């Protein structure tokens, strides 16, 4: 169950935050909750650091590599 929280913020920050949230297609509450979750998870590895080094390079002998290279490179 969600819980209400009262915070005091400068009016200019509120306007900018609402504009930012709207441009992202989320509510201001969701934006703030996400920011608080991110800040509270300090010490947990980021997505990038968890996956770094987990993939092997593509083989140039793989026909899928050639097809993707022709399409995107």
Give the domain extent around 17. 1-43
Question: pLDDT tens digits for 19-48?
Answer: 999 999 999 999 999 998 888 876 777 788
**CA-CA distances (angstroms) from residue 49 to 9, 36, 43, 56, 57?**
33, 20, 12, 16, 17
- Closest C-alpha to 17, from 9, 5, 63: 9
Predicted TM-score (pTM) of this structure: 0.53
Question: In which band, very low, low, confident or very high, does the pLDDT at 72 lie, cut at 50, 70 and 90?
Answer: very high
For residues 58 and 69, give the distance between their C-alpha atoms in angstroms, rounded to a whole number: 11
Whether residue 31 is contained in a domain is answered as yes
DSSP run (H or E) holding 36:
helix 28-40
CATH code for the domain of 4? 1.10.1220.10
**Number of folded domains in the chain?**
1
Count the alpha carbons within 13 Å of 53 in the hemisphere toward its beta carbon: 2
């Amino acid at each position: 169950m969600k819980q209400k929280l009262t915070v005091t913020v400068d009016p200019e920050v509120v306007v900018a935050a609402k504009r930012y949230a709207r441009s992202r297609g989320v509510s201001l509450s969701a934006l703030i909750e996400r920011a608080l979750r991110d800040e509270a998870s300090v010490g947990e590895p980021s997505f990038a650091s968890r996956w770094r080094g987990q993939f092997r390079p593509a083989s140039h002998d793989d026909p899928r590599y050639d097809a993707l290279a022709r399409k995107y490179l």
